[in-house]
Amino acid sequence: MPPIVRPSGQRKAPTEENPTFGPSQRLDIEAEVGFVVGVPSQLGVPVAVDEFESHVFGVCLVNDWSARDLQRDESVVRLGPAKGKDFASTLGPWLVTPDELADARRDKGYDLAMSASVNGLECSRGTWSSAQFSFGEMIERASADVRLRPGDLIGSGTVGTGCLLEVRDDTLGRYLEPGDSVTLAIERLGELTVPVVERPSR
């Protein structure tokens, strides 16, 4: 997988002496499951919870990277994070159809192990079945007043303990830095390893 570049994170305005924003000091991972829409929804008619599989083309692993320092500052005005989230999302390595996972379906998700590690150190382990909301509930909400189109990707949100914000003090002891290698894995969906690199200079 190609690397991700550590995003800018300095919150003060640039000056002549310091024309660029400094690097984020709180780069984080978010271990998620994503699903790709295959069949469009009807505008104004939410997809029923028990019909979500008929709209899903495939399921994949998602790392929804976050710059927590930017996210914190942007959320102060309660307009939602912008630059704290838009610099990278990593998907893959496979796209699996829902029928291939049917025998593992449990509770709100699937009884499939998930893990996240940095430089070989496991920081998170859990199961997809512990999700607070099912894919059916998510797609019902996502399709309210919106027409879902083939190719749209919907992320589950971070599975519990799947980010350093929750577990860094007990595991890595810090946020991510250039030189780190992050690996997310979900049983049957594969393993995704991505290096973190420093921002290039001008």
12-46 pLDDT tens trace: 555 565 555 678 889 999 999 999 999 999 988 99
Residues facing 66 on adjacent strands: 28
The pLDDT value given to residue 161? 87
Give the dihedral sign, CA 114/123/170/89.
negative
First to last CA, the chain: 24
Provide the pairing of β-strand 4-5 with 56-63. Answer: unpaired
Q: What is the pTM of this model?
A: 0.86
Distance CA 183, CA 121 (A): 10
8-17, 70-79, 88-97, 133-142: least confidently modelled range: 8-17
Check if the beta carbon of residue 99 is closer than 8 Å to that of residue 109. no
Chain CA centroid to CA 51, Å: 24
- Per-residue pLDDT tens over the stretch 114-158: 999 999 999 999 888 877 888 889 999 999 999 999 999 999 888
Mean pLDDT for all residues in the chain = 87
By percentage, how much of the chain surpasses pLDDT 70?
89
Distance CA 130, CA 132 (A): 6
Evaluate if residue 74 carries a pLDDT over 90.
no
The pLDDT value given to residue 13? 59
Neighbours of 77 (CB within 10 A): 7
The pLDDT value given to residue 159? 83
Q: Is 96 exposed, middle or buried (0-12, 13-18, 19+ CB in 10 A)?
A: middle
Mind listing the domains of the chain with CATH numbers? Answer: 26-197 (3.90.850.10)
Distance CA 33, CA 186 (A): 9
CA distances from 63 to 17, 28, 92, 136 (A): 35, 10, 9, 21
